[in-house]
Amino acid sequence: MTDLTAVDKVLQTHNHDKSMLVAILQDAQEQYRYLPKEVLTQISIKLEVPMSEIYQVVTFYKAFSLKPRGKHICSICMGTACHVRGAPLILETVKKHLDVEPGQNTKNMQFTLNTVNCVGACAVGPVVQVDNTLYGNLTSMKSIQLLKKFEKD
């Protein structure tokens, strides 16, 4: 059973304002690392918003997740600029290092690996985003060094 204390605090922070649904969902996901059904149900009840509407929002935005995610979200940009500068090799190297495929979590739940079409940082490609920070001008070796920093915490 999921502890709903954090979602109640999130709702209070946003004054139970249903027009703030996206922000509420973002803050709830930050607390739980994903959006469990119990959390969505609590939001639905407290805001008096139908679950169908909440699911429409959650499934529309790729930033939301309905399944557990790792402690760190590692997204590798596969846009054109990053692709031609070596992103496919970085992806293969990271997959081997973490022993995970894109869209999956590592066994220890330390990382979720994703690929994205573009992060808008083409000038510094190839780019890897870990959590909310972009790291540019990467090589395979630099990407592994980067991940090792996050493996320690």
Pick the closest to residue 95 from 106, 85, 84, 86 (CA basis).
Answer: 106
**110 Cα distance to chain centroid:** 12
List, in order, residues 6 or more apart from 118 with CB less than 8 Å away: 77, 79, 80, 82
Over residues 106-140, the pLDDT tens digits come to: 999 999 999 999 999 999 999 999 998 999 999 99
pTM score > 0.95 for this model? no
Provide the 10 A C-beta neighbour count for residue 137: 12
Burial class, 149, CB count within 10 angstroms (exposed 0-12 / middle 13-18 / buried 19+): exposed
Domains annotated on the chain, with CATH: 5-60 (no CATH), 72-151 (3.40.30.10)
pLDDT for residue 145: 96
Is the pLDDT at 153 greater than 80? The verdict is: no
**Which amino acid type is present at position 123?**
A
Mean pLDDT for the stretch of residues 69-83: 96
Pick the closest to residue 56 from 21, 108, 102, 100 (CA basis).
Answer: 21
Give the sheet arrangement for strand 111-116, strand by strand: 111-116, 72-77, 128-130, 133-135
